[in-house]
Amino acid sequence: MTAPAAFSALRHRNYQLFFSGQAISLIGSWMQMTAQGWLVTLLAGSEKEASAAQGWIMTLGSLPMLLGAFYGGWFADRFSKHSIVLWAQVAQAVLALGMAALVATDQMRLWHVAIFAVLLGITNVFDIPARQAFIVELVGKEDLHNAIGLNSSLFNAARVLGPAVAGLLIADKQRAMAPCFLANGLSYLAVIVGLRLMRGNFAPKSTGKEPPLKGVTEALGYLKQHQPIVALMAILASFSVFMAGDWILLPTLAKFTLGADAARYSHLMSARGVGALLGALLCTLLSASPYKGRIVTIGAVFFPLLSLGTALCHSLTWAFVFAPLSSFCMICVFATSNSLIQASVPDALRGRVMGVHAFLMMGLTPFGSLWAGIVASRTSTSTAMALGASLAAASVFLAVVLSPGLRRARQTLVGEGKSEGEDEVSDLAG
C-alpha cells in the first residue's frame, strides 16, 4: 500500500487499525466531555457554584496523574504497551457505561461525577504514557512525526464532530444527555477490536530491572542535559497550570457571560474543534518541516494571547472568532512538541519520558483547575481566564528568550541523529 507523504504513517497495517479504532472512539469521548461540562453547570446552578464545581471536579480527576504519572511511564517501559492500552480502554468503556446508567435514571449528582473523574484519571495514569510511546512501535521512527500529526488531526476532527453530535442531544434536562455517555462507552469497542487484530512483537524495549524511582531519575537526568527540552517542558507546564481555566471554565463562560444555551455552547465547542483540526492538519502537512522549533514558538506565543481575547470578549460572536484561533495555536504547540520530544529520546527511555510529559500536561492540572475555580468563584469567570492567560504569556516569553535553541530546533531537540541520544543513555546507564 502506498500513501502520499502527508499520510505516510498509514502504510503500516497496525497503525491503520489503531487509527480506525481511534476515529470512532474519540468522537464518543468528545460527546461525553461536551455533555459532562454542561451537566456539571446545570447541577451546580449559579455561575460561582458552577465555576467552583468545574474546578474541583477537574482537580480530583487530575490528581491520579499528579501522583502517578512517573510510575505510569516506568510501567510503560517495563510491560507491553499494547496490553496496557488494551486493558485501559476496557476500563474506560465500563466507566462510560456506568455514567450513562446514572444519567439515564436522573440519579447523577456532582459527587458521582467527581468519583468517575477520579477513576478515569487512574486509568489515564497507565494509558496516556503507554499510548503515546506505543506509536513508534506501530510506524517506526521514520514515520513518527507523521503519525503524531495524523493522531492530532484525528483527535481534533473528533473535537468538531463530537460536540456537534452532542449538541443535538444535550438539553437542560439530565436524562436527555444519557445517549452521549452511552455512545462513548460503546465506541471503545472499535479501539479494543483494532488492538486485538494487530500483529507483531510488542514486548517491552527496556530490559533493566531498576525500581521506579531510579528509572524516572534516569529519564530526568537525560532530559536536563538538553536545555531546549527543559524550555519546552517549562512552557507545557505553564499551560497546564495557568491555562486550565481556558478549558474547564468555558461552559460557565458560555452560559452566564455570553448567554449561550445548550445548542450554542455545543457550537462553540465545535468551533474550537475546527480551529484545532486546522492546526493539526497543518502540523501533519509540515511533519517533515525543518522548522519545528519556530512552529512551537509562534504557537506558544499566540495561544495565551488569543485565549485572553476569548476571556475578555462579552459577545458570543467574538468568542466564535477568538476561540477557534486559540485552539489552532494550542494544537500547533502540543502536536509539534510531542513529536519533537519523542524524536529526541531513545526507545529505552520513551515510556518514562512520556510519563514526565503526561505529568506536565495533566499531572499539574489540579493546581491550575483548583486555582481557576477559586479565582472565578471569588471574582468572575472572565477574570480567572484572563489572569491565567496573562501569566501563561509571561512564562512563554521568558522561556523563549532564555532558550534560543528551542527556536532553532529542527526535527529533534538534541541534534539531528539517533546515535547521540543512544550514546547519552549508555553513558547515563554506565
Q: Encode 251-265: b = buried (16+ Cβ within 10 Å), e = exposed.
A: bbbbbbbbebebebb
379-430 tens-digit pLDDT = 888 999 999 999 999 999 999 888 888 888 877 777 643 433 444 443 433 3
Name the residue with cell 532564555. Answer: 402
d(CA 424, CA 415): 12
- pLDDT < 70: residue spans in the chain: 1-6, 171-172, 205-210, 212, 415-430
Nearest to 185 by CA among 271, 100, 82, 76: 100
Q: Which residues contact 111 (CB under 8 A, 6 or more apart)?
A: none
- Model pLDDT, residue 430: 37
- Model pLDDT, residue 388: 93
Q: Which residues contact 12 (CB under 8 A, 6 or more apart)?
A: 138, 139, 140, 143
CA distances 37 to 102, 251, 298, Å, are 16, 6, 30
Nearest to 354 by CA among 252, 264, 219: 219
Q: Which CATH architecture has domain 12-198+211-429?
A: Up-down Bundle (1.20)
- Model pLDDT, residue 259: 84
- Model pLDDT, residue 328: 93
Query: How is residue 355 written as a grid cell?
Result: 510519563
Burial of 35 (C-beta count, 10 Å sphere; 0-12/13-18/19+): buried
- Model pLDDT, residue 419: 36
57-105 tens-digit pLDDT = 888 888 898 888 878 888 888 889 999 999 999 999 999 999 999 999 9
Name the strand (E) or helix (H) holding 243: none
Nearest to 356 by CA among 254, 191, 217: 217
